Amino acid sequence: MKTAVIVFPGSNCDQDMYYAIKDGLGEEVEYVWHAETSLDGFDAVMIPGGFSYGDYLRSGAIARFAGIMPAVIQAAREGKPVLGVCNGFQILLEAGLLPGAMLKNKKLKFICKTVNLKVENNNTLFTSLYKKNEIIRIPIAHGEGNYYCDDETLHMLKTGGQIVFTYDGENPNGSKANIAGIVNRAGNVLGMMPHPERAADALLESSDGLRLFQSILNHWRESAHAAYTS
């Protein structure tokens, strides 16, 4: 599996993402600069955290129009796994690949700590190696992670099983329905505020995040095998 890690001016979790895939997962990975226009040859796309374009205007608003974004949208339409973490989640929202928007954290503070997440849906290509309702430990680090959507969208997310992760216990940022991560309707685009790439090695307090990347790899192997045998 060959994975692209998109790098914007102001991305700062790109190396963590690269490390998690290369050393944690043991798979091929390359940085792709935001001004590139093609993702040909990549099997999965990661949009890392950080402060793309200094969070000017709104988080993710300017990155959404970067040269690489049409290729990201194309990859999403083709059903390739697309993961946006933190600022990456904000970019996916701004790009309209996921519904809703981010507001400033309810208590206005930047929060950086490890939280308990509940796996609400393990029937996705990102979460197949977790158990349903399993509690996992993943760090968050954001000032604008207060997920917002209207009631109609929330109903759609709930009935469609699109809420993948929720905060267990205290909600750190005031997000609607304790949402920490959602997928699109097709299930191949995941946006999440917590950082699985920062919890992909036992040395980093938790390795719970590694199974997310392993789930993506399993999915890729199965679909590659299915394509080979069909």
Residues that bind another protein (CB under 8 A): 57-58, 61-62, 65, 93-94, 99-101, 103-108, 146, 148-150, 174
* Nearer Cβ to another protein (167/213): 167
Instruction: Point out which residues pair with 141 in neighbouring strands.
Output: 112
Least distance in Å: CB of 101 to another protein? 4
Least distance in Å: CB of 108 to another protein? 5
Strand, coil or helix: 99: coil
Number of H helices, E strands in the chain: 5, 11
Nearest to 45 by CA among 75, 65, 21: 75
Nearest to 120 by CA among 177, 202, 205, 79: 177
Least distance in Å: CB of 60 to another protein? 9
* Nearer Cβ to another protein (57/112): 57
* Nearer Cβ to another protein (107/155): 107
Least distance in Å: CB of 47 to another protein? 18
Least distance in Å: CB of 148 to another protein? 6
How many Å apart are CA 65 and CA 59, to the nearest integer?
12
* Nearer Cβ to another protein (101/129): 101
Residues identified as active-site: 86, 195, 197
Cβ distance 74 to 31 under 8 Å?
A: no
Tokens 């199965």 found at: 222
- Long-range contacts: 96-99, Cβ < 8 Å, 24+? 97/72, 97/73, 97/184, 97/189, 97/191, 98/182, 98/183, 98/184, 98/189, 98/191, 99/149, 99/153, 99/156, 99/157, 99/182
* Nearer Cβ to another protein (87/215): 87
Three-state secondary structure of 43-77: CEEEECCECHHHHCCCCCCCHHHCCCHHHHHHHHH
